[in-house]
């Protein structure tokens, strides 16, 4: 059977001379999403809902800073075959896998040499950071590059080298909700399911007095404002986790109803079917309906919070159903 033809997203930009930091920020963002650069200002990604959103983030940042940018969809790129493009993507990801595997092995050797003085919590945090980096590479590995097994083997060797065992939690890394009260939390305009759920979790489990605002660029926020579900922020996507899952982990929220809700949000936000909750398609429809109904972002977010609260209450009161799901 013939393979389906590939389609490509092409981002072309022209940046203003000021601010000088914009060029670096845009370059880093494009590296993070795994784009292949064909010329100085022409970047390519394979077409998918996720890559469209990735390029949309870059486009918004460039336009906000006074630059010019276009994102186009094409069946072919002049002068370059699909096989050549796929080869470039795989080469980049393979290099990233190999570099990470080498770094893990070097760190493992150092840890053995200073094992007596190694911090248990520090080792757990290091392992978590490495897993997040591994997940980030996999998220932009669009064509199954070689090298993934090298990282998996290196991680396995480290995790089997001694305590703490995999699965232990670093309680010392849990944040105190009391330290985040009376603050304004900022996210991107036009919130969707992940941001609805994050705002709901913040209000219900972290800071009932939380206020919300919207901005395209986390780097320009005022002192004391807390960004969430934005690129390159603490409370955002990390590895294979959506922003809601990151907040749950950082604040130690383990409520069963929240866990069920997070499975719905994860699959909708990351366009996956990992958990395949029966409620997921209906919640997705509700979210799209809300986005179509409210043009004001603040009003949209508040209605999204109401939907998340209703979903949570449903899960929290449905213990029998959740037990049956868990036993499957």
Each residue's pLDDT expressed in tens, for the chain with a length of 328 residues: 445 678 999 999 999 988 878 888 888 889 888 999 987 789 999 999 889 988 998 898 899 889 999 999 999 888 889 999 999 999 999 999 999 999 888 877 665 544 444 455 566 667 777 887 888 888 889 999 999 999 999 988 887 765 433 333 334 358 889 889 999 999 999 999 999 999 999 999 999 999 999 998 877 788 889 999 998 788 998 877 899 999 999 999 989 999 999 999 999 998 888 888 999 999 999 999 999 999 999 999 999 999 999 999 999 887 544 443 443 4
Could you tell me which of 103, 91, 105 has the C-alpha nearest to residue 146? Answer: 91
Contacts 24+ apart (CB under 8 A), 213-216: 213/184, 213/185, 213/186, 214/186, 214/187, 214/188, 214/189, 214/297, 214/298, 215/186, 215/187, 215/188, 215/189, 216/60, 216/61, 216/64, 216/188, 216/189
């Amino acid at each position: 059977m013939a393979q389906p033809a590939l389609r490509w997203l092409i981002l072309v930009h022209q940046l203003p001379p000021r601010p000088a930091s914009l060029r670096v920020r845009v370059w880093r963002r494009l590296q993070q999403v795994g784009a292949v650069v064909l010329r100085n200002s022409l970047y390519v990604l394979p077409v998918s809902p996720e890559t469209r959103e990735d390029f949309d983030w870059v486009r918004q940042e460039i336009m906000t800073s006074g630059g010019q940018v276009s994102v186009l969809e094409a069946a072919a790129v002049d002068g370059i075959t699909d096989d050549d493009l796929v080869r470039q993507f795989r080469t980049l990801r393979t290099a990233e896998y190999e570099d990470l595997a080498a770094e893990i092995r070097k760190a493992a050797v150092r840890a053995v040499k200073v094992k007596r003085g190694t911090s248990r919590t520090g080792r757990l945090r290091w392992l978590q950071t490495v897993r997040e980096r591994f997940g980030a590479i996999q998220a932009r590995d669009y064509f199954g590059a070689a090298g993934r097994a090298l990282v998996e083997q290196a991680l396995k060797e480290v995790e089997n080298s001694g305590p703490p065992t995999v699965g232990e939690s670093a309680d010392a890394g849990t944040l105190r909700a009391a330290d985040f009260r009376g603050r304004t939390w900022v996210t991107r305009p036009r919130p969707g399911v992940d941001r609805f759920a994050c705002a709901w979790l913040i209000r219900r489990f972290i800071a009932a007095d939380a206020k919300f605002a919207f901005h395209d660029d986390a780097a320009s926020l005022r002192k004391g404002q807390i960004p969430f579900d934005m690129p390159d922020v603490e409370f955002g996507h990390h590895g294979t986790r959506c922003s809601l899952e990151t907040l749950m982990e950082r604040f130690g929220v383990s409520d069963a109803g929240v866990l069920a809700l997070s499975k719905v949000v994860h699959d909708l936000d990351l366009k996956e079917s990992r958990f395949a909750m029966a409620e997921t398609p209906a919640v997705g429809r509700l979210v799209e309906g809300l986005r179509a109904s409210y043009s004001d972002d603040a009003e949209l977010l508040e209605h999204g919070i109401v939907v998340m609260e209703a979903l949570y209450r449903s899960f929290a009161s449905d213990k029998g159903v959740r037990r049956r799901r868990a036993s499957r």
